[in-house]
Amino acid sequence: MNNCRKDQQLGVSSSEPLKVIIIGNGPSGICLSYLLSGYTPYVKPDAIHPHPLLQRKLAEAPGVSILDQDLDYLSEGLEGRCQSPVALLFDALLRPDTDFGGNMESVLTWKHQKERAISHVVLGRNLPGGAWHSIEGSMVTLSQGQWMGLPDLEVKDWMRRKRRGLRNSRATAGDIAHYYRDYVTKKGLGHNFVSGAVVTAVEWGTPEPSSSGAQDPRPLFQVSGFLTTEDQCQQPFSLYAHNVVLATGTSDSPAQLGIPGETLPFIHHELSALEAATRAGTVSPASDPVLIIGAGLSAADAVLYARHYNIPVIHAFRRTVDDPGLVFNQLPKMLYPEYHKVHQMMREQSILSPSPYEGYRSLPEHQPVLFKEDHQAMFRDPTGLHKVFGVSLVLVLIGSHPDLSFLPGAGADLAMDPSQPLSTKRNPIDVEPFTYQSTQQEDLYAVGPLAGDNFVRFVQGGALAVASSLLRKEARKPP
């Protein structure tokens, strides 16, 4: 007997097509929902943008929404820390002089024009905020707090109202997760969001019958999955939509080493495993070292966490400590002192040198070979020699891949190079730069890391491009 109650928000099945389904409720999905809910950006009448060329272009169309202007034309000539011209444009409008250390107010004002709203639903596994709810709450964000904000609600203002403060201009992950949830509530977007929704399949190719019996040439998308209800029952759903936006981010599928023993129970691929083991007392200052593999920020966070609890650490990575590709060599020391401390330890604390840092050893240029059931980890050093270490726990933190298993072919055909694995940094989904529509599938969009925009600061430009594209489609429809 099925005791699950039917979900009132989605229904088991809906044959009436939605205009838009957004898969993923992180910052990209939230920002797009805001723009599709009728919130419309205009340039303030008295605003003067510090970029002379952009200011001249903005002055050519006073009173015209940014969504209705030519994004290609407006973004031409802008430069910054991102490859996407629309991301640079929206960032320049929201934070005009932030790259020069300034804190000039946004040149945008927002009007809520309900007649411009496009009906949509946002499907997410977690609460609004997506993967931010899975990050250890006290971790400090990589980006400055002001760069984590969404349109028309600055993080610093929100934190001031919460009587919270930024640490070295940065916020904690817990604060940011709370901010995203609050944003959805404060902006009245909650009715568009469905949490606990896991999408298992997205299919397309079914033409939509029209009232005259003719076939609409634009195929419908069918989005299927299940909803986990409050009583932990799984309720299947199936929805149809004219447009689908992929906004699932990149943290779904941790990267694997692909070596023997990686499936043993003491091998983990998420920092949360170290937190759980520390709480349970299975790792402690008296236990064998925790082995951390990786040289990115997640690995550095794990080192910092272990050091905080005086847990001994062996830290292995395949690069040299001075490799220019290491993220530590790209971060300003003043803003990120804790990460530079880890980098200093990595450099000074080689296994071959005496120990200035008790309880920490680094293994630069070491390749893991295998893990054994008796908690032994074998490595190959730069000279080809094998070394074995006894460990209590292993954290493999070498990045993650987007999980698009719900798409035909796991989305491989959508990548810039379909012959290579999809990667948010090296091989993202190939999208049109000013609409973020897939170059391979009409009416399918991708935003955020899936489209190569890996920082919250810049994902909002993709949402602007998608909203602009969808509004133009709506305008082209006959009355």
Q: What is the number of other CB atoms lying within 10 angstroms of the CB of residue 19?
A: 16
Q: What is the mean pLDDT of the chain?
A: 83
Q: What is the pLDDT of residues 23-70, one digit of tens each?
A: 999 899 999 999 999 999 999 998 888 888 999 999 999 999 999 999
- Residue 216 pLDDT more than 60? no
In this structure, the strands spanning 444-446 and 234-246 are parallel
Q: What is the pLDDT of residues 407-429, one digit of tens each?
A: 998 898 999 999 888 887 788 99
Q: What is the mean pLDDT of residues 438-445?
A: 96
Q: What is the mean pLDDT of residues 329-346?
A: 78
**Confidence bin at 190 (pLDDT 50/70/90):** very high
Q: What is the mean pLDDT of residues 341-347?
A: 88
Residue in this structure with the two tokens 């957004």, named with its chain if needed: 22
pTM of the model: 0.78
Q: What percentage of residues in the chain have a pLDDT greater than 70?
A: 80
Of the candidates 143, 132, 171, 129, the residue with the CA atom closest to the CA atom of residue 81? 143
- Give the per-residue pLDDT at 166: 46
Q: Which range (189-203, 223-237, 320-334) has the least confidence?
A: 320-334
